[in-house]
Amino acid sequence: MIELRNVTKRYDTTVAVDDVTLTVPDGELTILLGPSGCGKTTLLRTINRMVELDAGEVLIDGQSIRSTPPEVLRRHIGYAIQSVGLFPHMTVRRNIATVPRLLGWDAVRIEARVTELLSLVGLDPASYADKRPAELSGGEAQRIGVARALAADPPVLLMDEPFGALDPINRERLQREFASLHRRLGKTVVFVTHDIEEAVLLGDRIVLMREGQIVQTGSPEELWRGPEHQFVRDFFGDEFGLRILSRHRIADLEPGATPQGASARVHLDTNLRDALAIMVTESVERVTILDGERVVGGLSFCDIVTQVRGSL
Amino acid sequence: MASSTTSGDRPATGPIPGAAARARQSDVVIGLTGAGIGALTTVMGPYLSFRPNRIVDGLSQTALEAFGPLGWLALALWALSGLVALTRPRAWTGAARAALGSSAVLTLLAAAGADAASFAAAQGAAARTSFGASFYLALLAAFLVSYSASAETPGRLGRAVIALFPVIALVALAATGALAELGIVREWMLTRTTFVRELRRHLFYALGATGGAIALGIPMGVLSARSRHAETAIMGSLNLGQVFPALAFVGIMMPILGALGDRFATVRALGISGIGWAPVFVVLLVYALFPVTRNTLVAIRQIDPAVLDTARGMGMSRWRSLFEVEMPLAFPVVLAGVRIALVQSTAGAILAAFVGGGGLGTIMFFGLEQTSMDLVLVGVLPIVALALVFDAGLRVVERMAGGSEESYA
Amino acid sequence: MNAYVPGIRRNPLGVGLLTAVLALWVLYTPGVEAVLRFVFPGETRLIYDRSPLTRFIGEHLALVAVGGVIAIVLGTIGGLIVVSPIGRPFRDVVLRLANFGQSVPSVAIMALAVPSLGYGSRPVLLALVIYSILPVMVNVVAGVESVPRSVVEAGRGMGMTRAERLIQLEMPLAMPVIMTGIRTMLVILVSAATLGAVVGAGGLGVPIMSGIGSFNNAVVAYGAVPAILLALIIDQAL
Ligand SMILES: Nc1ncnc2c1ncn2[C@@H]1O[C@H](COP(=O)(O)OP(=O)(O)OP(=O)(O)O)[C@@H](O)[C@H]1O
Ligand SMILES: [Mg+2]
């Protein structure tokens, strides 16, 4: 668990982070979201002491981060940023092995770990380990960046717009891969973005910031259903509801009766936003739900909207 | 340092349209220019001059006048190299015309050696046969031909042959003793012991100043990259030093170092005093510091900030990041600075002769006093040759280290 | 070419101050003697008394000015030829030769020119010109090539001829780089001209070398100080 207590950071005249108090639960993916310049990056970097605080304190598992020398602290916190920052003079293998080397792992263990991580991020170890960063595409480089951050199996991962520089198709693919990776590994992740879509898709919790302060914290659904501030509503905009729908699958809802007459067919793991899109495209008001080949029920447009309002 | 990792699309690798045609045109034009100059130098201008002794004016001749049929052969070789330049380039054409051009020069060199021998036989040991302007222009012509030939040769092996063939042929020619009676060779033979001593001293200045610049300049560059205050102080004073005229700078250093030597026994124990090697060495060192320090500074500054940020973010200490990330990335550019410093110091060490500090400049001064241009050349040519060898050698290392050809030349 | 652009340039106060000191040094000999007597109390002979310093600095300035002007004119023409379509093929080889020129000491050119040109200022001028043409050319090439292609293309799109583009766009935009080259060249010339004394061209090298020859540091300083001041003034003023 990471606890930030009354954290403040000033630069000359600007207050980049203004008296922020926040708890990041273990195993969750917490998103720091907000407009450009609101202090997300600064707040993130206080956690691994890349930014030293003017006031307040940061605790990891109840221990102040000031009790550990910054270098040692950072070796146990994964760090990945938008511009990746792979070392251009080192091979992919050596890049990934950076923290293990700093920690003094033996060569056999490092090699095994590199292979494991490359497979984990979906790259073939045999063909990628000896490449140089200049020979990688943007998406590949970003995957290596994530692998490098995970190298020493740190319990905490800090990520600053890791997918921000990618084209939309690559970005979405990496987001989905990362979401499933996170579900499997159960790391505590603090993830900075200013992309609402990304935040809603990935976040277990969203911390919405403005001008160095937290406006509201909660799951995307909580923010959607109970915005405490006009700013929250304005920031997420009218599409917020649709985005929330994309977080959930047909399987998350109570199926109704199998529709008679005109309907479209969807699967249990279709997300709700896609389900609505299919209805619109096919000009029908109901869908038939399939589990594999088997029909398990149906839902109407109104069912979906009402259920989402009430239960999610 | 391309931060190409951040961009999704890879850099285009194919040649820019039209660039190949332009390069080809350039090869032909330069190859023809070289062949043309070579041909002209054979028929015009002083190629050789014969003097009964060092003092009196002698007889100057063109290559055709001096060598007869061999002169015509050289002319034909030049013409052939021009013709080959016009043909469609194949794997061997570059090497062929480079060999033709070099052979033209070597033919005339051998002929000159023979003429010198017969002239010496007739006139005695004081006789001097020296090269004139046309000979030096012919060297330029051979360079142009080889340069363009090298550019059109795809393989590394072919280019190595083009570069090394004239050197090896020249050494072979010299080994046969065919050149022994040429003025410059005779002067070199006469001053051989002095030559070796002064060459050693010259290398001491050049390598010493560069070594000092590496030892001091790299830390100073790192420091400048870290702090703006340090940068202002360090680069400011090095800039100032660059501006000081060399001879005046040495002149000013003499009393200063003299006073230091008088005042401090440790300084004196190092052999530092107002006369001798120390003033020149210090001046060369100050000059050499500039390129090394500047390139170190620039190289570190241009490293992608994200790279340094992640190095720190993963828990590298400052030193670790310096040695494992910053220095390796800066290396090619720093090396370019070292190369500039070394070339500059090699040429600059001629200054030592002005203050009795030795070095190859001393031999140049002997030549000037005795109005023997051959002796002047015995001093000057090795300086130029050393500088070129250092330059070429370090460029090869730079390229292997991944630097770009033109980094901070 | 150099990514490192040094800090403050064109310091009128500094230039004025340096010029005043230089003028005093050259014109007010008793003062100079007093200074030298203070710094070098051991020396009996303090200045080079066979000719006034005005003559040496005059010769020095003349060498630098004549050599510099010739080099600027020829170098600029050469550089423009090399970046023009006609001279383009020679671009790389010229840059290579310019690099080679670095490795030939300027005094060597002077010494080698003596037999054909005799002693005096002519071999020195030749050396100064040869030595500085190539740096000027290199900077003209670098300057013109530093002009963004989009600017030149825009000019072309608006119907400018090649000459108009050169005069109205490329040259003005290349000027800072070219001026840097000229400043560097002039500073180098001031330095090289001190060596001209070796072949009898006069200049501030005469007192310096006389002082060195007689192990008299006062006389060395008598010539070295104005040479340094001159170089600093040129460096700061341009
Ligand atoms: N090193 C620094 N020096 C001075 N000001 C800084 C520094 N770092 C950040 N700031 C200022 O602090 C504020 C917050 O910056 P921060 O980088 O944390 O914003 P951000 O939310 O990450 O923005 P973005 O989405 O654009 O990355 C900004 O006003 C910024 O200008
Ligand atoms: Mg940010």
Question: Which residue in the block uniquely carries the two structure tokens 């015309």?
Answer: B97
Please say whether the beta carbons of B213 and B288 come within 8 A.
yes
Helical axes B373-400 vs B192-226, angle rounded to 10°: 40
Determine the average pLDDT of the residues in C88-103: 84
Q: Which tens digit of pLDDT belongs to each residue from B77-109?
A: 999 999 988 888 787 888 888 889 899 989 888
Q: How far apart are CA B240 and CA C166, in angstroms?
A: 35
Residue of A11, A81, A163, A207 to test ligand 1 pocket, by largest number of atoms within 8 Å of CB: A11
Name the pLDDT band for A24 (thresholds 50, 70, 90): very high
A276 and chain B in contact, CB less than 8 A: no
Name the pLDDT band for A8 (thresholds 50, 70, 90): very high
Among the partner-chain residues A72, A87, A99, the one whose CB lies closest to the CB of B307 is A87
Residue-range definition of the domain harbouring residue C82: 12-237
For C88, how many CA atoms within 13 A lie in the half-sphere containing its CB? Answer: 11
Q: Which of B9, B314, B329 to mutate to test the interface with A (most CBs of A within 10 A)?
A: B314
Tally A–B CB contacts below 8 A.
98
Determine the average pLDDT of the residues in A39-65: 94
DSSP β-ladder status, A213-218 and A205-210: antiparallel
H or E element at residue A274: helix A272-282
Q: How far apart are CA A20 and CA B62, in angstroms?
A: 90
Determine the average pLDDT of the residues in C123-134: 89
Q: Do A81 and B310 touch (CB under 8 A)?
A: yes
- Quickly list H helices, B124-155: 133-152
Q: Dihedral (C-alpha) C27, C28, C33, C39: value to the nearest 10 degrees?
A: -90
Among the partner-chain residues B240, B248, B347, the one whose CB lies closest to the CB of C224 is B248
Q: How far apart are CA A249 and CA B160, in angstroms?
A: 67
Q: What is the CATH number of the domain that holds A307?
A: 3.10.580.10
Q: For residue A254, with 0-12 CB atoms within 10 Å meaning exposed, 13-18 middle and 19 or more buried, which class applies? A: exposed
Residue ranges, CATH 1.10.3720.10, chain B: 192-407
Q: How far apart are CA C21 and CA C37, in angstroms?
A: 18
Q: Please give the model's pTM, rounded to 2 decimal places.
A: 0.85
Determine the average pLDDT of the residues in A148-170: 91
Q: Would you say residue B352 has pLDDT above 90?
A: yes
C-alpha A192 – ligand 2 centre gap (Å): 7
Please say whether the beta carbons of A131 and A91 come within 8 A.
yes
C218 inside domain: yes
Closest CA of chain C from B57, distance in Å: 10
Query: What are the CA-CA distances from residue A85 to residues A98, B296, B306, C199 (Å)?
Result: 12, 21, 5, 58
Residue B68 tokens read as 């007869």
Determine the average pLDDT of the residues in A154-179: 90
Closest CA of chain A from B370, distance in Å: 56
Residue ranges, CATH 1.20.140, chain B: 20-182
Q: Would you say residue B13 has pLDDT above 80?
A: no
Q: How far apart are CA B315 and CA A102, in angstroms?
A: 8
Q: Which tens digit of pLDDT belongs to each residue from A208-261?
A: 999 999 999 999 999 998 899 999 999 999 888 888 888 888 888 888 888 887
DSSP letters spanning B261-315: HHH-HHHHHTT--SSTHHHHHHHHHHHHHHHHHHHHHHHHHTS-HHHHHHHHHTT
Q: Do A137 and B325 touch (CB under 8 A)?
A: no
Q: How far apart are CA B305 and CA B181, in angstroms?
A: 63
C65 inside domain: yes
Q: In this structure, what are the phi and psi dihedrals at residue B227, rounded to the nearest 5 degrees?
A: -135, 130
Q: Can you tell me which atom of ligand 1 is nearest the CA of A9? A: 12
Among the partner-chain residues B245, B388, B391, the one whose CB lies closest to the CB of C194 is B245
B308: nearest CA partner in chain A: A85
Q: Would you say residue B10 has pLDDT above 80?
A: no
Q: Tell whether A100 and A179 lie within a shared domain.
A: yes
Selecting from 3.40.50.1370, 1.10.3720.10, 3.30.420.40, 3.40.1160.10, what CATH number does the domain B192-407 have?
A: 1.10.3720.10
A165 and chain B in contact, CB less than 8 A: yes
Q: Which of C119, C217, C219 to mutate to test the interface with B (most CBs of B within 10 A)?
A: C217
* % of chain B surpassing 70 pLDDT: 93
Q: Which tens digit of pLDDT belongs to each residue from B262-300?
A: 888 887 777 777 778 889 999 999 999 999 999 999 999
**What CATH number has the domain spanning B20-182?**
1.20.140
Please give the pLDDT value at position B287. Answer: 95
C2 inside domain: no
Q: Do B26 and C90 touch (CB under 8 A)?
A: yes
C213 chain-B contacts, CB cut-off 8 A:
none
Q: Which tens digit of pLDDT belongs to each residue from B291-317?
A: 999 999 999 999 999 999 999 999 999
Q: Do C89 and B354 touch (CB under 8 A)?
A: no
B402 chain-A contacts, CB cut-off 8 A:
89
Least confident of A248-262, B200-214, C125-139, C189-203: A248-262
Q: Dihedral (C-alpha) C97, C101, C103, C109: value to the nearest 10 degrees?
A: 140
In eight-state DSSP terms, residue A51 is: S
C45 inside domain: yes
Q: In this structure, what are the phi and psi dihedrals at residue C166, rounded to the nearest 5 degrees?
A: -65, -50
The domain total for chain A is 2
Q: Would you say residue A204 has pLDDT above 90?
A: yes
Residue C181 tokens read as 């080259």
Name the pLDDT band for C88 (thresholds 50, 70, 90): confident
| A37-46, A265-274, B156-165, B364-373, range with greatest mean pLDDT | A37-46
How many C-beta atoms surround the C-beta of residue B388 within 10 A? 16
Q: Do B6 and A137 touch (CB under 8 A)?
A: no
| Cβ-proximal residues to A135 (8 Å cutoff; 6+ apart), any chain | none
Q: Between vectors from CA C212 to CA C211 and to CA C213, what angle results, nearest 5°?
A: 90
For residue B292, give the nearest of A98, C4, A114 by alpha carbon. Answer: C4
Q: Do A86 and B4 touch (CB under 8 A)?
A: no
How many C-beta atoms surround the C-beta of residue B357 within 10 A? 22
| A202-211, B361-370, C101-110, range with greatest mean pLDDT | A202-211
Q: For residue C237, with 0-12 CB atoms within 10 Å meaning exposed, 13-18 middle and 19 or more buried, which class applies? A: middle
Does A214 or C219 have the greater pLDDT score?
A: A214
Q: Would you say residue C104 has pLDDT above 90?
A: no
How many C-beta atoms surround the C-beta of residue C235 within 10 A? 22
Q: Tell whether A125 and A141 lie within a shared domain.
A: yes
Determine the average pLDDT of the residues in B149-154: 85
Q: Would you say residue B9 has pLDDT above 60?
A: no
The domain total for chain C is 1
A98 and chain B in contact, CB less than 8 A: yes
C-alpha A53 – ligand 1 centre gap (Å): 14
B364 chain-C contacts, CB cut-off 8 A:
107-108, 111
Asked if residue A212 has its Cβ within 6 Å of ligand 1, the reply is no
DSSP reduced 3-state for A208: strand
Question: Which residue in the block uniquely carries the two structure tokens 């003092």?
Answer: B55
C202 inside domain: yes
Encode burial over B199-227: b for 16+ CB neighbours within 10 A, e otherwise: bebbebbbebbbbbbbeebbebbbbbbee
Q: Would you say residue B161 has pLDDT above 90?
A: no
Residue A71 tokens read as 């270098």
C-alpha B159 – ligand 2 centre gap (Å): 51
Spatial strand order in the sheet of A213-218: A77-81, A156-160, A188-193, A29-33, A205-210, A213-218
Q: How far apart are CA C207 and CA C193, in angstroms?
A: 13
Asked if residue A11 has its Cβ within 6 Å of ligand 1, the reply is yes
Chain-centroid distance of CA B54 in Å reads 29
Residue A254 tokens read as 């109570």
In eight-state DSSP terms, residue A129 is: T
Ligand 1: which residue has its CA nearest to atom 18? A39
Question: Which residue in the block uniquely carries the two structure tokens 């670098």?
Answer: C142
Name the pLDDT band for A49 (thresholds 50, 70, 90): very high
Encode burial over B131-164: b for 16+ CB neighbours within 10 A, e otherwise: bbebbebbbebbbbbbbbbbbbbeeeebbebbee
For residue B406, give the nearest of A215, C142, C190 by alpha carbon. Answer: C142
Determine the average pLDDT of the residues in A149-165: 92
Among the partner-chain residues B6, B328, B329, the one whose CB lies closest to the CB of A138 is B6
Q: How far apart are CA B254 and CA B357, in angstroms?
A: 12
Chain-centroid distance of CA C12 in Å reads 20
Asked if residue A260 has its Cβ within 6 Å of ligand 1, the reply is no
Strand intervals (E) in chain C = none
Name the pLDDT band for A164 (thresholds 50, 70, 90): confident
B307 chain-A contacts, CB cut-off 8 A:
85-88
Q: Would you say residue A308 has pLDDT above 90?
A: no
Longest Cα–Cα distance of chain A, Å, equals 69
Encode burial over C202-212: b for 16+ CB neighbours within 10 A, e otherwise: bbbbbbbbbbb
Q: What is the ipTM of this complex?
A: 0.89
Please say whether the beta carbons of C120 and C211 come within 8 A.
no
B317 chain-A contacts, CB cut-off 8 A:
71
Q: Tell whether A278 and A131 lie within a shared domain.
A: no
C6 inside domain: no
Determine the average pLDDT of the residues in B342-371: 91
DSSP β-ladder status, B128-131 and A264-267: unpaired
Query: What are the CA-CA distances from residue C222 to residues B163, B273, B404, C44 (Å)?
Result: 49, 20, 46, 14
Q: Which of B140, B243, B383 to mutate to test the interface with C (most CBs of C within 10 A)?
A: B243
How many C-beta atoms surround the C-beta of residue B269 within 10 A? 9
Determine the average pLDDT of the residues in B170-181: 86
C42: nearest CA partner in chain B: B255
Mean pLDDT score of chain B, rounded to an integer?
Answer: 86
Closest CA of chain A from B296, distance in Å: 17
Q: Do B383 and C92 touch (CB under 8 A)?
A: no
Asked if residue A16 has its Cβ within 6 Å of ligand 1, the reply is yes
Determine the average pLDDT of the residues in B158-186: 86
Q: What is the CATH number of the domain that holds A57?
A: 3.40.50.300
Q: How far apart are CA A254 and CA A230, in angstroms?
A: 32
DSSP reduced 3-state for C14: helix
* % of chain B surpassing 90 pLDDT: 43
Residues found in chain C = 238
Least confident of A133-137, B403-407, C10-14: B403-407
Q: Which residues pair with A77 in a beta bridge?
A: A156
B347 chain-C contacts, CB cut-off 8 A:
102-105
C58 inside domain: yes
Please give the pLDDT value at position C2. Answer: 40
Q: Tell whether A187 and A268 lie within a shared domain.
A: no
Q: How far apart are CA A249 and CA C130, in angstroms?
A: 80
Which of A244, A275, A295 terminates a domain? The answer is: A244
Residue-range definition of the domain harbouring residue A274: 249-311
Q: Would you say residue C102 has pLDDT above 90?
A: no
Q: In this structure, what are the phi and psi dihedrals at residue A266, rounded to the nearest 5 degrees?
A: -130, 160
Q: What is the CATH number of the domain that holds C129?
A: 1.10.3720.10
C-alpha B308 – ligand 1 centre gap (Å): 18
Please say whether the beta carbons of A201 and A247 come within 8 A.
yes
Please give the pLDDT value at position B311. Answer: 94
Q: In this structure, what are the phi and psi dihedrals at residue A103, rounded to the nearest 5 degrees?
A: -85, -5
Residue C235 tokens read as 């460096």
Please give the pLDDT value at position B403. Answer: 56
Please give the pLDDT value at position B178. Answer: 82
Please give the pLDDT value at position A285. Answer: 87
Q: How far apart are CA C24 and CA C39, in angstroms?
A: 17
In eight-state DSSP terms, residue C47 is: S
Q: Would you say residue B19 has pLDDT above 80?
A: no
Q: How far apart are CA C100 and CA B364, in angstroms?
A: 20
Please give the pLDDT value at position B6. Answer: 34
For residue B381, give the nearest of B137, B136, B143 by alpha carbon. Answer: B136
Asked if residue A35 has its Cβ within 6 Å of ligand 1, the reply is no
Question: Which residue in the block uniquely carries the two structure tokens 């001064």?
Answer: B365
Residue type at C23?
Answer: A
C4 inside domain: no
Q: How far apart are CA B312 and CA B326, in angstroms?
A: 12
Among the partner-chain residues B9, B317, B325, the one whose CB lies closest to the CB of A71 is B317
Does B53 or A114 have the greater pLDDT score?
A: A114
Name the pLDDT band for B7 (thresholds 50, 70, 90): very low
Mean pLDDT score of chain A, rounded to an integer?
Answer: 91
